[in-house]
Amino acid sequence: MRILVVGGAGYIGSHVVKELLKTGHDVRVFDNLSTGQEVNLFENIEFIKGDILDIPAIEKAMEGMDGVVHLAAKKAVGESMEKPDVYALNNLNGTINVLNAMVKNNVKYFVFSSTAAVYGMPSIEVLDEETPLNPINFYGFSKKMIEEVLSWYDRLKGIKFVALRYFNAVGYDGEGDVKGLEKNPQNLLPIVMETIFGVREKMTVFGSDYPTKDGTCERDYIHVSDLASAHQLAFQYLVRENQSQIMNLGTGVAHSVKDMIEMTEKVTGRQVKYEMGDRRAGDPAALMAFSKKANELLGWQPQHSSLENIIATTYRIYQKYF
HEC letters along 107-171: CCEEEEEEEHHHCCCCCCCEECCCCCCCCCCHHHHHHHHHHHHHHHHHHHHCCEEEEEEECEEEC
139 an active-site residue? yes
- In the complex with ligand UFG, the residue whose CB is nearer, 11 or 153, is 11
Binding of ligand UFG by 116 (CB under 6 A): yes
Distance CA 74, CA 65 (A): 24
Residue among 139, 172, 221, 318 flagged as catalytic: 139
Distance CA 225, CA 222 (A): 9
| Dihedral sign (CA 47, 5, 43, 176) | positive
Helices and strands: H and E segment counts in the chain: 11, 15
- In the complex with ligand UFG, the residue whose CB is nearer, 99 or 192, is 192
- In the complex with ligand UFG, the residue whose CB is nearer, 104 or 280, is 280
Choose among 5, 25, 39: nearest CA to 173.
Answer: 39
Distance CA 167, CA 188 (A): 13
Return the range that interacts with ligand UFG (CB under 6 A); candidates 18-26, 101-109, 183-191, 307-315. 183-191
Cβ-closest residue to ligand UFG?
A: 217
* Interface with ligand UFG in residues 214-243 (CB under 6 A): 217, 219
Binding of ligand UFG by 71 (CB under 6 A): no
The CA-CA-CA angle for residues 126, 128, 134, to 5°, reads: 90
Binding of ligand UFG by 206 (CB under 6 A): yes
The minimum distance between CB 17 and ligand UFG, in angstroms, equals 20
- In the complex with ligand UFG, the residue whose CB is nearer, 102 or 294, is 294
- In the complex with ligand UFG, the residue whose CB is nearer, 150 or 261, is 261
Binder of ligand UFG out of 15, 28, 74, 75 (CB under 6 A): 75
User: What three-state secondary structure class fits 189?
Assistant: helix
Please answer whether residues 127 and 116 qualify as being in contact, where contact means their C-beta atoms are separated by less than 8 angstroms: yes
Binder of ligand UFG out of 107, 146, 254, 287 (CB under 6 A): 287
Annotated catalytic residues are 139
Binding site for ligand UFG (CB under 6 A): 75, 77, 115-117, 167-168, 187-188, 191, 203-206, 217, 219, 257, 280, 283, 287
